[in-house]
Amino acid sequence: MSTNPPDLPALSHIDPAGKASMVDVGGKETSRRAAVAEAWVRVSPHLASLIRQNALAKGDLLAVARLAGITAAKRTDELIPLCHSLPLDHADVRATLLPDHRIRILAVASTTARTGVEMEALTAASIAALTIIDMGKAADKAIVIEQIRLLHKRGGRSGDFTAPGVSPQDFSEVLP
């Protein structure tokens, strides 16, 4: 059963019968890999003020979002079906409140393994963004996650990737 048009590469998580399956990475070379993801969250001016003053009843929103993201990176294989368990060498999340009432989240993950850490970085950014909603919803019911995307990945058979329009200066501060 064909799952892709002939001019497109085969999907890696689909077996020849068209069923979802975990990719066998046993024959791949171990290499150093890293990925950086970003999320943007828009909050109200009122919530931004509370964050700046660290005046939320639940505590320091940016610090908790950071820790939630790091924890999520470490547990990605439990959250996403068919995702490999990876021994992370490093995971970090930075959350910065900007003057325009948006929070930029940068998440990085790295490993030495047979498969990449893109999903770990994306999961970290996603869960950090959701944590901002959870912690801020009492003060702002209209919080919006505007974007989550992979900025950069390096290593592995497919080589390096940087998202179109992204400069290395946009993420180099978080790469290990």
- What element of type H or E holds 124? helix 118-136
Q: Where do the domains of the chain lie?
A: 31-174
CA distance 152 to 35: 6
Q: Cα angle vertex 68, ends 91, 65, to 5°?
A: 105
Model confidence band, residue 2 (pLDDT cutoffs 50, 70, 90): very low
CATH 3.30.70.640: does it fit domain 31-174? yes
Rg of the chain on CA atoms, in Å: 18
Q: Locate 134 and state its tokens.
A: 């959870």
The residue-averaged pLDDT of 18-41 equals 82
The tokens describing 55, both together, are 């005046």
Task: Please write the tens of the pLDDT for every residue from 114-164.
Answer: 888 999 999 999 999 999 999 999 999 999 999 999 999 999 888 999 999
End-to-end CA distance of the chain: 42
Which positions are annotated as active-site residues?
134
Residue 63 has pLDDT above 70, yes or no: yes
Q: What pLDDT shows up at residue 24?
A: 63
Residue type, 66: R
Q: At what angle do helices 118-136 and 45-53 cross, to 10 degrees?
A: 100
pTM of the complete model = 0.87
Q: What is the rounded CA–CA span in Å between residue 56 and residue 60?
A: 7
Which conformational region is residue 165 in: left (phi greater than 0), alpha (psi within -120 to 50 degrees), or beta?
Answer: left
pLDDT, tens only, 81-105: 888 899 999 999 999 999 999 999 9
- Tell me the residue ranges of DSSP E strands in 66-139: 88-97, 102-113
Q: What are phi and psi of 141, to 5 degrees?
A: -80, -10
